[in-house]
Amino acid sequence: GDSVTQMEGPVTLSEEAFLTINCTYTATGYPSLFWYVQYPGEGLQLLLKATKADDKGSNKGFEATYRKETTSFHLEKGSVQVSDSAVYFCALSPNTGNQFYFGTGTSLTVIP
Amino acid sequence: DTEVTQTPKHLVMGMTNKKSLKCEQHMGHRAMYWYKQKAKKPPELMFVYSYEKLSINESVPSRFSPECPNSSLLNLHLHALQPEDSALYLCASSRDYSYNEQFFGPGTRLTVL
């Protein structure tokens, strides 16, 4: 069945460091891929998405590219800030219906 | 308005109480969802409503009873809950069930004593 495997956390980085959070998926067909962010005490916010192979999603300095050949959708940011401290979820939605498959989440802490 | 609102923000209830969670969206979305999220875990789908009809129930115990009175409103009625039901309950909506971008509310933090 469809699934998402996400990099284990927690991740601790210094401010202005480079961030990569790995996400790989298993799916039949051509799913859509998402990164959601959850700040402490809040709900999930859509960070970025990609709906087909080679699409690059980007938002707030974060980027992820839909790589069908490696079944990956890694999240990157060139220079993290303290305000980026949150839990990041990679998610997959098959191209039929609207079931979501979430990864386990990666907790990021950015220290000044 | 691109917001999903949820009330209350926090709820503490005893195992014999009856309470309700409320979710509202005014984006014209026709699919709405309830999720349960335990600490440090991803959200788990509970229910899906599509065009005000229940289309998915993920084998949720009957002490959770969803209701969709209209296309903007989604309720979750709670009765005889257990302490292990304590969690963050998230509501989400999407344009319709075939459109896969979901918008989430801030959640209700539920504590069952």
Flag whether pLDDT at B100 surpasses 80: no
CB atoms within 10 A of CB B10: 9
CB atoms within 10 A of CB A27: 19
Chain A residue numbers with beta carbons less than 8 Å from the beta carbon of B88 are 43
The Cα–Cα gap between A111 and A80 comes to: 10
Flag whether pLDDT at B18 surpasses 70: yes
Question: Tens digits of per-residue pLDDT, B51-98?
Answer: 999 998 888 999 999 999 999 999 999 999 999 999 999 999 998 877
A36 reaches B (C-beta below 8 A): yes
Q: How many CA atoms lie within 13 A of A25 on its CB side?
A: 30
Tokens 């509501």 belong to B91
pLDDT (0 to 100) of residue A8: 84
Contact B63, B110 (CB under 8 A): no
Flag whether pLDDT at A49 surpasses 80: yes
Flag whether pLDDT at B45 surpasses 70: yes
The Cα–Cα gap between A80 and A94 comes to: 31
Interchain contact, B107 vs A46, CB within 8 Å:
no
Structure tokens at B5: 């609102």
Question: Tens digits of per-residue pLDDT, A55-78?
Answer: 999 999 999 999 999 999 999 999
pLDDT (0 to 100) of residue B58: 87
Burial A58-77 (b: 16+ CB within 10 A, else e): eeeebbbbbbeeeebbbbeb
**Mean pLDDT of the A21-33 span:** 92
Residue B2 binned pLDDT confidence (cut-offs 50, 70, 90): low
Interchain contact, A43 vs B41, CB within 8 Å:
no
The single-letter code of the amino acid at B69 is P
* Alpha-carbon separation of residue A51 from A9, A98, A103, A108, B111 (angstroms): 26, 13, 17, 25, 37
Interchain contact, A103 vs B42, CB within 8 Å:
yes
Interchain contact, B43 vs A44, CB within 8 Å:
yes
pLDDT (0 to 100) of residue B105: 95
pLDDT (0 to 100) of residue B99: 67
The Cα–Cα gap between B93 and B105 comes to: 9
Structure tokens at B12: 């503490």
Contact A57, A35 (CB under 8 A): yes
Residue A45 binned pLDDT confidence (cut-offs 50, 70, 90): very high
Q: Which residue of B has its CA nearest to A38?
A: B106
pLDDT (0 to 100) of residue A95: 74
Q: How far is B99 from chain A (nearest CA, A)?
A: 7
